[in-house]
Amino acid sequence: MPTFIFFGTGHFAEEVLKNLISRGYKPAYVITAPDKPVGRHQVITPPPVKCIADAENIPVIQPESLKNVSILAELKAIIEKVDVCVVADYGKILPQALLDLCPLGFLNIHPSLLPLHRGPAPLQATILAGDAHTGISIIKIDALMDHGPLVAVEKVLVPEFMWPCPVRELSDYMAKRSAQLLSDILPDYVAGKLPGTEQNHEAATYTKMIEKKDGEVSWDDIVAGNLKDIYLKFCAYKEWPEVFFIHDGKRVKIKVMGYWEGTYAIERVTPEGKTEISWTDYIKHHKLEK
């Protein structure tokens, strides 16, 4: 069985790692982000990927920077012991000096059909597009973002019973499928049977880092009943930054929305400075008018 090092930090990486281990593919090492302060009280918290590695007795390295000479030397020493490096949702650009350390290169798992949705938010982009036809791309990383040759591609149709769905559910589903695809192709890749195919770079589309302002929706659209796009935004940004609208000068967060057979509805909201209430109670005191 091929040996590998796993680079990953976020929730998608967490689920990929869990599923790889469940399929018998346990990395020799895990590289993840440093512990960081989380929540209102800024409690120093390890990345979930580190928690999984600790539970499985997998050695963990948490570099602040991948450009540091001593870190590169440390990584070189462990990369020499494995066949390949695997990256999923790591959160940092890998410098060329690091990529050059692994003769078979670094494989990146990207939850879209590259070259569509390159960049940091492919899952959110898939939801916002309202298209359940998506996929998984495993590429050999080169110097440019999500640009390298395609080693394996799997088209995925998200099941009708779960679509459209919140980003966490889509992430979990795609992570499971990604781990399966990687474990299926890794032996052939290490054996030199999957040289890769260049992407169609002219067809590339790009996602960007999500900002708080991206969660804003229009009060006018709510009044007009244009809720489908709002629901897709709610699903895409449910984890962060959440969806909100401005009404009477106040920010109102949409906390719960529902979807039944093509019908969309706002169910619960949190007005600025107040506790969560039902949408029915909110519109009792705030007329649905422009």
pLDDT in tens, the chain (290 residues): 899 999 999 999 999 999 999 999 999 999 999 998 887 788 899 999 999 999 999 999 999 999 999 999 999 999 999 999 999 999 999 999 999 999 999 999 999 999 999 999 999 999 999 999 999 999 999 989 999 999 999 999 999 989 999 999 999 999 999 999 999 999 999 999 999 999 999 999 999 999 999 999 999 999 999 999 999 999 999 999 999 999 989 999 999 999 988 899 999 999 999 999 999 999 988 877 66
- Asked if residues 12 and 174 have their Cβ atoms less than 8 Å apart, the reply is yes
CA 42 to chain centre: 23
pTM of the predicted protein model: 0.93
Considering only CA atoms, which of 38, 3, 8, 54 is closest in space to residue 175? Answer: 8
DSSP 8-state symbol, 160: G
Handedness of CA 207, 208, 209, 212 (dihedral sign): negative
CA dist., res. 173 & res. 214, Å (int): 24
Q: Using an 8 Å Cβ cutoff, are 107 and 139 in contact?
A: yes
What is the side-by-side strand order in the sheet with 4-8? Answer: 60-61, 29-31, 4-8, 84-88, 106-110, 133-140, 150-157
